[in-house]
């Protein structure tokens, strides 16, 4: 009796294992269907079109004759360019010759000028208009004496920098190449979501036409968090590999549309890169093309977000120079001398609660309000100073060169 039950159990187990094995084989067989055996695509949609790609899972699309990455790169790749720059700098005299001890014994007849030094740089960019307009990073072309643009098809042109904005790290370069230029299709960064595919195209480390794949890791990563305090940007963060030389190249979605401009990496991290949202770049590029200066209103405070818990910790220290109000707001850490904030009477230790009746609890909120105001506009600040609340008026000015 026991033997019969054991036999039935073994048969049931064998049947189950066989079913699993068959299931695996069937699954593998389904994934390995060749294009000729698969169901034909509708005649109105090509096999590489974004419409068809959107109906496939990434795994299925990647196993076909061409993946969604291939289709995306084929769409944008021809418009991605390499940008080589040259800059001649005059080096200062050797500090040894400027030393007062040296001059006392040898006089001023020592050589004061060292031979000029040639600096070369490398970056990426992409063509946004058939007239030859190219979008790239400001740090790729800034202060360059010569800019050379090389297209994927091998053609090379001298580039002219139309405009540079260091605060957003964007620049527009123009080449004269006729009307047969490929154009990178521009998407919308407002539609980007965390987890979307991200494709970086460019010339990292001088390796031309390199493509890397990843996802969107997060959105609206502030430049202060990234560690670039002199910029005013909310970056798209991605784990697609970005290396020196990728700067200025496009970050592309699965449909082959540019959603960002690759601009920064962190030296202390692996697999983290940042891109400027394309919607921000569109606005700035239009003005740079016309040679306009980009307005960046400035008030002149260094700040830190504060909460009741942080204030209590600070106040519990017997060596604290002041007592902070135990509230949510933006603490003024330092006031820039001769700035609008200094003129308005803002002091270190003040907590900014509102700007033009808009509640403020984060530094990014204050930056956004100031950045979206006009140069010369008067802003009304509600400030907590100790136990008192004050209303202060502050007039913005243009931010000077942050570098």
Question: The CATH number of the domain where 267 resides is what?
Answer: 2.40.10.120
Average pLDDT over residues 156-174: 93
Work out the pLDDT band at 325, boundaries 50, 70, 90: confident
- The number of distinct structural domains making up the chain is 2
What is the average pLDDT value for the chain, to the nearest integer? 79
Among residues 228, 261, 293, which one ends one of the domains?
Answer: 293
Is 139 a residue of the active site?
yes
- State pLDDT tens for residues 55-71: 444 444 444 556 899 99
Q: Looking at 279-370, which runs of residues are DSSP E strands?
A: 297-298, 301-306, 329-335, 351-355, 358-359
**Cβ atoms < 10 Å from Cβ of 1:** 5
CATH number, position 307: 2.30.42.10
- Looking at residue 56, its pLDDT comes to 44
Active-site pick, 67, 222, 247, 350: 247
Helix (H, G, I), strand (E, B) or coil at 202: strand
CA torsion sign for 296, 301, 303, 307 is: negative
Contact 214, 241 (CB under 8 A): yes
pLDDT digits (tens, 9 = 90+) for 216-259: 998 988 776 666 656 777 889 999 988 888 899 999 999 999 99
Give 402's pLDDT tier (boundaries 50, 70, 90).
low
Q: Does the pLDDT of residue 35 top 60, yes or no?
A: no
Task: Single out the catalytic residue among 67, 84, 124, 139.
Answer: 139
Full-model pTM: 0.70
Would you say residue 5 lies in a domain? no
Identify the domain boundary among 231, 262, 293: 293
Residue with tokens 């800059």: 87
What pLDDT does residue 18 have?
A: 36
> Is the same domain home to 263 and 250?
yes
Higher-confidence residue: 44 or 8? 8
At 85, is the pLDDT very low, low, confident or very high (cuts 50, 70, 90)?
very high
Print the domain residue range for 356: 297-398
* Same domain assignment for residues 394 and 368: yes
Domain final residue, candidates 270, 293, 316: 293
State yes or no: is 145 an active-site residue. Answer: no
Determine whether 169 is an active site residue.
yes
Among 84, 165, 169, 350, the one annotated catalytic: 169
């Amino acid at each position: 009796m026991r033997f019969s039950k054991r036999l039935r159990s073994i048969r049931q187990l064998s049947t189950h294992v066989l079913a699993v094995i068959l299931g695996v084989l069937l699954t593998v067989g389904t994934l390995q269907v060749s294009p000729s055996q698969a169901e034909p695509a509708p005649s109105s949609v090509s096999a590489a079109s974004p419409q068809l790609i959107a109906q496939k899972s990434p795994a299925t699309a990647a196993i076909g004759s061409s993946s969604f990455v291939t289709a995306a790169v084929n769409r944008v790749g021809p418009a991605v360019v390499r940008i080589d720059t040259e800059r001649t700098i005059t080096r200062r005299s050797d500090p040894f010759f400027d030393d007062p001890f040296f001059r006392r014994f040898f006089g001023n007849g020592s050589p004061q000028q060292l031979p000029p030094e040639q600096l070369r740089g490398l970056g990426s960019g992409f063509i946004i208009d058939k007239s030859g307009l190219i979008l790239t990073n400001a740090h790729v072309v800034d202060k360059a004496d010569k800019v050379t643009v090389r297209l994927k098809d091998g053609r090379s042109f001298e580039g002219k920098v139309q405009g540079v904005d260091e605060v957003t790290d964007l620049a527009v370069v123009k080449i004269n190449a006729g009307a047969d230029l490929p154009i990178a299709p521009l998407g919308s960064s407002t539609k980007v979501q965390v987890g979307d595919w991200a494709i970086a195209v460019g010339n990292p480390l001088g390796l031309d036409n390199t493509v890397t794949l990843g996802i969107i890791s997060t959105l609206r990563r502030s430049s202060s968090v990234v560690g670039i305090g002199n910029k005013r940007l909310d970056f798209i963060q991605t784990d697609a590999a970005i290396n020196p030389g990728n700067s200025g190249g496009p970050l592309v979605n699965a449909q082959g549309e540019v959603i960002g401009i690759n601009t920064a990496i962190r030296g202390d991290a692996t697999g983290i890169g940042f891109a400027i949202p394309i919607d921000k770049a569109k606005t700035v590029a239009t003005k740079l093309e016309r040679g306009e200066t980009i307005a960046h209103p400035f008030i002149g405070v260094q700040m830190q977000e504060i909460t009741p818990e942080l204030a209590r910790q600070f106040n519990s220290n017997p060596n604290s120079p002041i007592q902070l109000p135990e509230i949510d707001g933006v603490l003024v850490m330092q006031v820039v001398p001769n700035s609008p904030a200094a003129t308005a009477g803002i002091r270190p230790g003040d907590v900014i609660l509102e700007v033009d009746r808009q509640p403020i609890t984060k530094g990014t909120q204050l930056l956004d309000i100031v950045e979206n105001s006009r140069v010369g506009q008067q802003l009304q600040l509600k400030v907590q100073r100790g136990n008192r609340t004050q209303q202060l008026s502050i007039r913005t000015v243009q931010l000077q060169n942050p570098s």
